[in-house]
Amino acid sequence: MTLQRNSLDWLIQVAYTTGRLFTRNSLQNHAAATAFYFMLSATPLLLLLSYGMQWLGRLAESYVPATMLFAALYNQLRLETLTEIGFLPRQTQLTAGGVGLVTLLLSSRGLLNALQSAFKIIFPLETRRKFVTSWLLPLLIIPIAFGLLGLAGLVQAVLTFFAHVELIGAAQGILLRSLNALFMLFMLWLLVFLSYWRLPVSRPPVRQAAIIALLAALSLFALFALFGHFFQLEKYQSLYGALGGAVFVLIGAYFACIVFYLWAQCLFAVTRVDVEALEKLFLGGAGEGASRLEGFVFGRANRLLEKYGRTYQPGEVLIEEGDTSQNAFFLYSGSAAAYKNVNGGERRLGALNEGQLFGEMAYLLKEKRTATVRAETEVVALVLPPDMLEQLMRHSAPLSRRIIDTLCQRLEKMNLAAQS
């Protein structure tokens, strides 16, 4: 029961952190920019697709397998619909292919820049990619991504065509349709996973990126199904005329980018939720000026105690003077005292009470422990590794100021004790 409650607390905290960061980072604006550049990239790509279909159509006149493939692709990709709404011209000239390729490369760079700008906000980090790398990525990533999508569409078209062939049985048809759906889901997951894992300068853990990418892919599948069910192309054409098709696709791309960025923000929240919860605990409740909702979300410390907590009996040593460990401690309950060896004897420096953070001096100064901390009553303390303390100080300016203030007071007391 406790494990289930802690898991529920973790989910609520991740969801709250995701929503708060998504709104604060204004990712809906980045989604609009990404959708716009996607449209610019898709248009020359569709022209190239039209050139390819023309070549396949000429080949189909004398080659039976090409005829079957042409029919499958034409129906599956809905090229007639794309032609009707104005995305594809009824007759294309191959002489425009060079312009299409240049437009594709330029718009692809804009699309990747929009993605990178959003990911810099979602996964903030001070370091940057090298200049040459930042210029080469658009020329490689976007064409590869569209190539994978084209391959997925080709495989889907072939599987869908054979699934409707009357010569095969009903069971084989169901199997082919299932393979078709699974393959499309896998390709979509692969693209999302590579984006979540490789685009951030500071890469998230592979396992977490893979799981969040799967949830994002399933969400996109559901979005496409709902979008096709509730939104009709004919309505947009009647409202916007010839531009109705472009408006329809742009709205769909915008919602898809919203889902994509929302799950990316969730991935960051998963890696940062402990920092958020610890900050609220250290600053007292949910912190100064926090809302009632925030107090409810971060009000329980059971999950943190289970993950970082440790119990010390009276007289047990938490920190030994001269030790090289660099863990920090937060005194959740009980009381302890700090002692220092002075002139061959042990002198009590002062008491440590509930709510105090201590032991951070060894990490900040990169020195050995300067005092011994011993439990006076039964103590429950959160033991924080150095990397967690570093994240906390980077994330929370109020907490950093409190740590610096406490450190200054502690150094002053130690100097007074040494002089007396």
Q: What tens digit of pLDDT does each residue of 73-101 get?
A: 555 445 555 555 454 444 444 444 455 55
> Average model confidence (pLDDT) for the chain?
76
Please tell me the predicted confidence (pLDDT) of residue 97: 46
Instruction: Give the rounded percent of residues in the chain with a pLDDT score beyond 70.
Output: 62
pLDDT at 165: 54
pLDDT at 95 (0 to 100): 42
Quick one: pLDDT at residue 263? 97
CA 59 to chain centre: 45
CA atoms lying within 13 Å on the CB side of residue 17: 24
CB 11 within 8 A of CB 311: no
| Confidence band, pLDDT 50/70/90 cuts, at residue 172 | low
Per the model's pLDDT, the better-predicted residue between 2 and 209 turns out to be 209
The contacts of residue 404 (CB under 8 Å, 6+ apart) are none
Q: Is the pLDDT of residue 270 over 80?
A: yes
Least confident of 129-133, 184-188, 400-404: 129-133
Question: Residue 41: what pLDDT?
Answer: 67
Res 226: pLDDT: 81
Asked whether the beta carbons of 218 and 226 are under 8 A apart, the reply is no
Give the residue-averaged pLDDT of 360-371.
85
The 3-state DSSP composition of the chain as helix, strand, coil percent (nearest 5) reads: 70, 10, 20
Which range (188-202, 277-291, 301-315, 364-378) has the least confidence?
A: 277-291
pLDDT band at 355 (very low <50, low <70, confident <90, very high): confident
Domains and CATH numbers, the chain: 2-277 (no CATH), 302-419 (2.60.120.10)
Q: What pLDDT digit, counting tens, does each position of 201-253 carry?
A: 788 899 999 999 999 999 998 888 887 666 665 665 565 555 666 677 778 88
Q: Give 313's contacts (C-beta < 8 A, 6+ positions apart).
A: 375, 378
Residue 35: pLDDT over 70: yes
Is the pLDDT at 258 greater than 80? The verdict is yes
Amino acid 92: pLDDT: 46
* Amino acid 203: pLDDT: 84
Q: How confident is the model at residue 160 (pLDDT cuts 50, 70, 90)?
A: low
Determine the average pLDDT of the residues in 15-32: 92
Q: In what order do the strands lie in the sheet with 317-319?
A: 317-319, 372-375, 336-342, 345-352
Instruction: Quick: pLDDT tens for 41-77.
Output: 666 555 555 555 555 555 555 555 555 554 555 554 4
pLDDT confidence bin for 286, thresholds 50/70/90 = very low
